[in-house]
């Protein structure tokens, strides 16, 4: 190992506050998606096939609004 290798390895990595905020936002999104999938799984376990397709059917108008918002910029 040369002196520059040891110097590079011993330099602490500085993370900015925006990186930390971005990580928290990503964690919140992932937890929300995880709870939605768990909830959907519980509805399938409780009500069977209707628990599978009724939440998907209910999301159709929501997705249409989201697509309209995306297309308008």
pTM confidence score: 0.60
Dump pLDDT digits (tens) for 11-22: 556 667 778 889
The answer to whether residues 43 and 51 touch, using CB atoms and an 8 Å cutoff, is yes
End-to-end C-alpha distance for the chain, whole angstroms? 53
Task: Quote the tokens at residue 57.
Answer: 């059917």
Dump pLDDT digits (tens) for 29-57: 999 999 999 999 999 999 999 999 999 89
Residue whose tokens read 């330099």: 11
Q: What is the DSSP letter of 1?
A: -
- Could you state, in order of their start, the residue ranges of all structural domains in the chain? 18-72
């Amino acid at each position: 190992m040369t002196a520059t290798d040891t110097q590079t390895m011993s330099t602490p990595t500085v993370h900015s506050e925006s990186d930390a905020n971005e990580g928290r936002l990503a964690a919140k999104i992932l937890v929300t998606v995880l709870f939605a999938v768990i909830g959907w799984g519980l509805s399938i376990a409780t009500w069977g096939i209707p628990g599978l397709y009724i939440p998907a059917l209910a999301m159709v108008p929501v997705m249409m609004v989201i697509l309209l918002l995306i297309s308008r910029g």
